[in-house]
Amino acid sequence: MLGTIVNTACILLGSTVGSLLKKGLGDKYRDVLYFAMGLASMALGISTFTQNLPKSEFPVLFILSLAVGGVAGTALDLDGRAKAAISRRGGEGLANGLISASLLFCVGTFSIVGPIMSATTGDNTFLYTNATLDLVTSMVFAATYGIGIAFSAAILFCWQGFFYLLGKLAAESVLLQGTLINELAIVGGVLILSSGLALLRIKDCKTLNYLPALLVPVLWFLARQVI
C-alpha cells in the first residue's frame, strides 16, 4: 500500500498548496486554470480511449457499458445527489471540480494497474508516476476550486485500495487479466472526456450517472468465466 499512500499524500499536498495560491489569483486567471483543466481532461480522455481501443477484444463492450451504466446511474440520480451533497458545503463549482478531479485521479490505467502491480509484484513504479502527475493536477484544481479538492484523496485511497486488495486476494482471477483492465481503461477514457466537456462548459453530460458503466466489463468477464 506504500504507493497508494504516497499517491494520496501527493494529492493532499497539492490541494493545500493550490488552495494557498488561489488567494492570490484573480478571476481572470482562475478562468484560465478552469479551462486548462477542461482541455487537459479532454486530452487525457481521448488519449486513454484511443490507446486502448485497438487492443480491445470486444470493441463494442464500451458502448454497452455506457448505455447500461448510464441508465442505471440516471435511475439512481448519482450525479444529482453527489452535486447536491457537495454544493451544500462548497457550491456548485466545487462539486464539478471535485467530480472531475476524482475521475482524473481514479479512472485511469495507472490507478487501476498500479495497485494491482504493487500487490502482486511489489512494484510501485506506476503509482509513483501517478502520484507525480496527481500532485501537479491537484494543485491546479485547488487553485481554481479551493481546498475542497483534498476530499478526492480519500476517494483515490479507497479506489486504489480496492484494486490492491483484489490483487492480494485474487492473483489468478479473471478480474486481473490484462484484457479487463484494457476495457476499464476504454470506459474510463470516455468518462474523463465527458468531464472535460463539463469543465469547458460545452455540455454537462452528468458524468457521475455513467460511473456504473465501469461495473459492466467486470460483470461481462465474470459471466464469460461462468458460462
Using pLDDT thresholds of 50, 70 and 90, give the confidence band for residue 94: confident
Average pLDDT over residues 121-148: 85
User: 91: helix, coil or strand?
Assistant: coil
The residue that leads in pLDDT, 34 or 183, is: 183
Whole-prediction pTM: 0.76
- pLDDT tens by residue, 47-71: 889 988 998 988 999 999 999 999 9
pLDDT at 32: 81
Of the listed ranges 13-17, 29-33, 78-82, 173-177, the one predicted with least confidence: 173-177
Q: How many domains does the chain have?
A: 1
Please name the helix (run of DSSP H) or strand (run of DSSP E) that holds residue 68, with its range, or none. Answer: helix 61-76
* CA separation for the pair 70, 68 (Å, rounded): 5
Using alpha carbons, select from 127, 138, 157 the residue that is nearest to residue 100. Answer: 138
pLDDT of residue 4: 94
Cell output for 205:
453530460
Any residues with CB less than 8 A from the CB of 33 and at least 6 apart, and which? 25, 140, 143, 144
Confidence of residue 24 (pLDDT cuts 50, 70, 90): low
The answer to whether 83 and 134 are in contact (CB under 8 A) is no
The pLDDT of residue 156: 93
Domain range holding 82?
2-226
**pLDDT value at residue 184:** 82
3-state DSSP of 133-195: HHHHHHHHHHHHHCHHHHHHHHHHHHHHHHHHHHHHHCCCCHHHCHHHHHHHHHHHHHHHHHH
Task: For residue 144, give the nearest of 43, 40, 45, 32 by alpha carbon.
Answer: 32
pLDDT at 163: 83
